[in-house]
Amino acid sequence: MLSEELTRYIEALIPDREPIVQEIEAYAKEHRVPIMDIIGIEAMLYILQIIQPKNIFEIGTAIGYSAIRMAMKLPNARIVTVERDQERYERALFYIERTKTCDQIDVLFGDALELYNEVEKHAPFDVMFIDAAKGQYERFFRLYEPLLADGGVVITDNVLFKGLVAANEIENKRWRQLAKKIREYNEWLMRRTDYDTVILPIGDGIAISRKRGETK
Ligand code: SAH
Ligand code: MG
């Protein structure tokens, strides 16, 4: 979405990450694991530092990159994260071990839509981060919103889907269907008056939705 030139410019201004973090980034690149891009994760971490969540729930661990970065940036936070791909799940455990973030991160293996009872044991959550199957965002949101604390925040990644949400014609059928799903999610999310939502055109598009308190 951002020009390649500007992306490189901003990335060059961002301080170097720890070697182990760079190693995870390199693994993701080599194995085509869709971890958050640098500008997106830096923006999200910044926002999280303002929120200071104690308890975070993440849907879509992949190889643990975002969970590990959150754990390192927020030493007082605990993170519960869910992944259904076994190879990625195991990679995540490996990197969590290596970054010594085991005390902060619990990884659950399985489909997020089937793990409610497990996840509930860790609730309530100050932040819920949705970064998994793009066609299921509304289902994830609806299933887990009861576990969100009052004033809690839902962060959804990839809501602009490489800009395809605004494209008139998309040739690839799978992409066309996904773009439609995400558009519907965005509209549904913006209609929810019990949340204040803003869509930030950072990374692949991030929606931030704060649940309004009872008194508002
Ligand atoms: N948050 C990660 C990237 C996640 S990529 C990071 O930025 O580092 C999305 C991941 O979600 C994939 O690894 C995929 O296997 C997983 N996923 C997709 N649908 C899922 C579901 N229903 N339950 C659990 N994991 C799911
Ligand atoms: Mg993502």
20-53 tens-digit pLDDT: 999 999 999 999 999 999 999 999 999 999 999 9
What pLDDT shows up at residue 213?
80
Model pTM greater than 0.95?
yes
Question: What confidence tier does 2 reach under pLDDT thresholds 50, 70, 90?
Answer: confident
- pLDDT (mean) for 163-176: 94
Would the CB of 91 count as within 6 Å of ligand 1? no
DSSP structural state of residue 193:
T
Residue having the nearest C-alpha atom to atom 3 of ligand 1: 35
What pLDDT shows up at residue 1?
80
What's the rounded Cα separation, in Å, for the pair 193 and 195?
5
Would the CB of 87 count as within 6 Å of ligand 1? no
Which residue(s) pair with 80 in the sheet? Answer: 57, 106
What pLDDT shows up at residue 59?
98
Tell me the pLDDT of the chain averaged across its residues: 96
Rounded distance from Cα 215 to ligand 2 centre (Å):
33
Checking if the pLDDT of 214 tops 90, the result is no
What's the rounded Cα separation, in Å, for the pair 151 and 209?
10
- pLDDT (mean) for 178-205: 97
Would the CB of 133 count as within 6 Å of ligand 1? yes
What pLDDT shows up at residue 16?
94
Question: What confidence tier does 136 reach under pLDDT thresholds 50, 70, 90?
Answer: very high
Proximal ligand: closest to the CA of 70: 1
Would the CB of 181 count as within 6 Å of ligand 1? no
87-122 tens-digit pLDDT: 999 999 999 999 999 999 999 999 999 999 999 999
Residue 185's H or E segment, with its range, is: helix 173-191
- Contact between 158 and 208 under an 8 Å Cβ cutoff? The reply is no
HSE toward the beta carbon, residue 149, CA cutoff 13 A = 15
DSSP structural state of residue 158:
-
Which residue(s) pair with 209 in the sheet? Answer: 154, 197
Q: Output Rg (C-alpha) for the chain, integer angstroms.
A: 17
Residue having the nearest C-alpha atom to atom 25 of ligand 1: 83
What pLDDT shows up at residue 215?
55
Nearest alpha-carbon partner for 209 in 117, 132, 133, 144: 144
Give 133-138's long-range contacts (Cβ < 8 A, gap of 24+).
Answer: 133/60, 134/158, 134/161, 134/178, 134/181, 134/182, 135/177, 135/178, 135/181, 137/181, 137/182, 137/185, 138/184, 138/185, 138/188
54-100 tens-digit pLDDT: 999 999 999 999 999 999 999 999 999 999 999 999 999 999 999 99
Query: Which residue type occupies 96?
Result: I
